[in-house]
């Protein structure tokens, strides 16, 4: 077995995505993922708690980077603009070369209610964390919560548009469009 070859984690992710797409998430075992990657189950568990976590790898890093971006945003920016800049910073996670992987990942999640629930929990966690960061910027509690929840809605719409865009425009293109729509709606210029 080639378990000492480099990039074990990447190989496990690639193997899992291949098997999930080919067989389905429910029908794929950790043992099969490890075997497909040329690794042992023990190695799998060094990197992932369970087979779900393969699909959500990096979400904690995304959350941390969003909070850091919000904390770096200029203090004189309006809260919605600071949040917009923060969400735009996520573009580094959604580069064009990750589009095919992201589409496959989302197809696996969309086909499984348990994974959909996990995705909602991850997004809810990010919203709570962003609301706390907004409060540290001086935004009052209920406003910070509302703004963070709206930000997650904008993020979701932009991400879905990025995945389904036949022209394959950048995530940031879709993020700006969704954020502009929210701003227009809140200004009363959309109905």
**Residue-level pLDDT at 155:** 97
Please check whether residues 90 and 149 belong to one and the same domain.
yes
Segments forming the whole domain that contains residue 179: 59-186
H-type alpha helices, the chain: 8-23, 30-37, 41-47, 59-72, 79-89, 99-110, 113-136, 141-164, 171-186
Q: How many domains does the chain have?
A: 2
Please check whether residues 36 and 102 belong to one and the same domain.
no
Q: Distance between CA atoms of 128 and 70, rounded to whole angstroms? A: 13
What is the tens place of the pLDDT at every residue in 3-39? 456 799 999 999 999 999 999 999 999 999 999 999 9
Please check whether residues 76 and 121 belong to one and the same domain.
yes
Please check whether residues 153 and 86 belong to one and the same domain.
yes
Question: pTM of whole model > 0.85?
Answer: yes
First-to-last CA distance in the chain?
61
DSSP SS3 for 92: helix
Please check whether residues 30 and 71 belong to one and the same domain.
no
pLDDT at position 191 over 90: no
Contact 176, 88 (CB under 8 A): yes
Q: Distance between CA atoms of 93 and 62, rounded to whole angstroms? A: 7
Give residue for tokens 């589409």: 103
Please check whether residues 79 and 138 belong to one and the same domain.
yes
């Amino acid at each position: 077995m080639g378990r000492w070859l480099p990039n074990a984690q990447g190989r496990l992710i690639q193997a899992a995505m291949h098997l999930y797409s080919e067989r389905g998430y429910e029908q794929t075992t950790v043992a099969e993922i490890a075997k497909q990657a040329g690794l042992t189950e023990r190695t799998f568990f060094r990197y992932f708690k369970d087979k779900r976590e393969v699909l959500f790898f990096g979400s904690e890093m995304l959350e941390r980077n969003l909070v850091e971006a919000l904390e770096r945003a200029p203090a004189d920016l309006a809260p919605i603009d600071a949040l917009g800049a923060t969400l735009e910073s996520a573009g580094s996670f959604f580069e064009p070369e990750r589009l095919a992987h992201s589409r496959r990942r989302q197809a696996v999640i969309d086909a499984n209610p348990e994974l959909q629930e996990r995705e909602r929990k991850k997004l809810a966690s990010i919203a709570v964390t962003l609301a706390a960061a907004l409060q540290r910027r001086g935004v009052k509690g209920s406003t910070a919560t509302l703004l963070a929840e709206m930000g997650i809605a904008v993020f979701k719409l932009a991400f879905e548009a990025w995945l389904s865009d036949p022209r394959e425009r950048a995530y940031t293109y879709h993020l700006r469009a969704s954020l502009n729509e929210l701003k227009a709606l809140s200004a009363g210029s959309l109905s």
